[in-house]
Structure 1
Amino acid sequence: MAAVYRLLRCGAAARYPARRWLSVRVDATFPASLAAAKRDPGGRGVHWVFLGCPGVGKGTYASRLSQILGVPHIATGDLVREELAASGPLAQQLAEIVNHGQLVSDEIILRLLSKRLEDGEAKGESGFILDGFPRTIRQAEKLEEVTEIDLVVNLKLREDALLAKCIGRRICSHCGGNYNLASVNIKGENGNPDIVMAPLLPPEECASKLITRSDDTEEVVKERLRIYHEMSEPVEEFYRARGKLLEFDLPGGIPESWAKLLRALNLIDNDDKQSAAA
């Protein structure tokens, strides 16, 4: 993995340009069972990528899977927000980019990701689930040069539901927990099913401490979705052409989607069915 970090640092030197309820195309090779996915402590963990529009739930599902598989969940969005919370010229530059709904440049993302991977290597981490990277073809090409990606999970959700979810997002200023006040109930049309997502409400101790992310306004979210469709969807085709793309249309919120996603990934053993439903 050390080569990954060296080449990511090199890449940072250059700035690049920036229906059915379940639709799965599985050309990728991934574990045939949960037991196969849980590697020995000294072995190589999974190398997975989560794609999808802003607000689709990449972080939620990637975080849950990271706990099951014993590999770190690395969200480039979190890396950016951590840097935003710091002081200095990079934080000011990032604030200007994020508040206008623009994509952070490859140079900055590669710099932050390189540092995160180096820190993980020093702690003995093996494998990863990347969330929010790659977002461009050039990022995907750079990642392919330095490490083999096993599987790319592409989460999909209709845009009106995405918009409602993004605007409803809240963060607890005290504990950092993520919640969502949106109650999504969209009638199906043109053969598509209804989309129903219950709010993810905070516990009582967090209810008065909720804050809204500065980039979760309707105007900014729409701009982020436009940029995603323009620049990031080609990344889906990049991995589809390599037979590594798993497309998953979310049928609803976590209770409706979690167990179905585990089944699509072949990650439910008989003794794990009960925990999958939790």
Structure 2
Amino acid sequence: MAALTRLAKPSFAPHSPISYLSRCLYSGLGSEPSSHAAASYSPHLGPKPSLSVKDPKDRNVQWVFLGSPGVGKGTYASRLSNLLGVPHIATGDLVREELAASGPLSQQLSEIVNQGKLVSDEIIINLLSKRLEAGEAKGELGFILDGFPRTIRQAEILEGVTDIDLVLNLKLREDVLLEKCLGRRTCSQCGGNFNVASINVKGSNGSPAISMAPLLPPQHCMSKLVTRADDTEEVIKHRIDIYNEKSRPVEEFYRSRGKLLEFDLPGGIPESWPKLLEILDLDDYKEQQSAAA
């Protein structure tokens, strides 16, 4: 990708067969975090990250999506990708593609994923590097990263090669997250993602009530729905625990740089999508809601 080429250390040749991010990993780039003015932002308080998405020619954004497993990063990142015309790159999808390809990493990745463990930095960075380089070859500009970075180490490496504009942190109660993950289904024929869970959680201890309607497939997909191998209650709870331990420090990493935007999902897509567009300062968000639907 051009942005990565431009911002990488001069010793990294733009078309080296060893990818930018991989070379950063092995050379130690990013082991010391950069110095930035500390700031924080929430939808209600504090200075807000600067967004430049109002003119189509300026929409080559470089955004990161954070959030616990099952929160909806892929759903909302994909919609914004369509809206802004930048690629949505989900490291979870890259891992599943590698699994489906039955390559050298397939068996190793299968064991890691089915146990709900985090894939190593080395594997994730290599997969992401290949995807970014393929995008660069096609002339892609900008990206929305979903699932990376998940550790401070990954965040430091990414910071060393490109300048992230905004980090969107999606938040949802853990009991709702569990229900959502258990309801996820994929069509074995078309590959579409759906959710059969009908969630109605009452408010308690100051938390608002949350309702989420199921996202059902068309009739011809109903008999072909399958559950992901790692979508069991035990594995999902383990993944959430790992996220809390490993990835929440990444939130603080970006909060200290004034790039973190936190968004508490108020419900399902009909409730959350327009509010998300509003908080992202898309002035014409009402007109654009249908563009990415």
What is the TM-score normalised by the length of structure 1?
0.90
Q: Which portions of structure 1, spanning 4 or more consecutive aligned residues, are displaced by more than 4 angstroms?
A: 22-26
- The question of whether the paired residues in 1 share the 8 Å contact of 2:211 and 2:268 is answered with yes
- The question of whether the paired residues in 1 share the 8 Å contact of 2:65 and 2:144 is answered with yes
2:136 is aligned to 121
- The range that moved more, 3-12 or 189-198, is 3-12
How large is the Cα RMSD of the aligned pairs?
2.1
Partner Cα separation in structure 2 for residue 163 and residue 169 of structure 1: 10
2:73 is aligned to 58
Give the one of 94, 112, 115 matched to 1:79: 94
Partner Cα separation in structure 1 for residue 288 and residue 62 of structure 2: 24
- The question of whether the paired residues in 2 share the 8 Å contact of 1:183 and 1:199 is answered with yes
**Which consecutive unaligned segments of at least 5 residues does structure 1 have?**
17-21
SS of the equivalent of 1:174 reads coil
Paired residues, number = 267
Q: Are residues 1:10 and 2:23 paired?
A: yes
- The question of whether the paired residues in 2 share the 8 Å contact of 1:48 and 1:128 is answered with yes
- The question of whether the paired residues in 2 share the 8 Å contact of 1:259 and 1:277 is answered with no
1:29 is aligned to 50
One-letter identity of the residue aligned with 1:29: S
2:33 is aligned to none
**Which consecutive unaligned segments of at least 5 residues does structure 2 have?**
9-13, 31-41
Shift of 1:211: 0.7
2:11 is aligned to none
Partner Cα separation in structure 2 for residue 100 and residue 274 of structure 1: 38
Shift of 1:29: 1.2
One-letter identity of the residue aligned with 1:119: A
Shift of 1:2: 4.7
Partner Cα separation in structure 2 for residue 173 and residue 76 of structure 1: 20
Partner Cα separation in structure 1 for residue 69 and residue 262 of structure 2: 16
- The question of whether the paired residues in 2 share the 8 Å contact of 1:24 and 1:246 is answered with no
Q: Are residues 1:190 and 2:205 paired?
A: yes
- The question of whether the paired residues in 2 share the 8 Å contact of 1:14 and 1:107 is answered with no
2:57 is aligned to 39
SS of the equivalent of 1:63 reads helix
Give the one of 245, 250, 258 matched to 2:260: 245
1:159 is aligned to 174
One-letter identity of the residue aligned with 1:28: P
1:130 is aligned to 145
Partner Cα separation in structure 2 for residue 121 and residue 142 of structure 1: 19
One-letter identity of the residue aligned with 1:130: L
Shift of 1:87: 1.4
- The question of whether the paired residues in 1 share the 8 Å contact of 2:210 and 2:267 is answered with yes
1:19 is aligned to none
- The question of whether the paired residues in 1 share the 8 Å contact of 2:201 and 2:209 is answered with yes
SS of the equivalent of 2:249 reads helix
Shift of 1:213: 0.5
What is the TM-score normalised by the length of structure 2?
0.86
Partner Cα separation in structure 1 for residue 107 and residue 126 of structure 2: 16
Deviation string, structure 1 residues 7-54 (Cα, Å, up to 9, x no partner): 3021454899xxxxx9555531112xx533x226xxx71000000000
One-letter identity of the residue aligned with 2:57: R
Shift of 1:208: 0.6
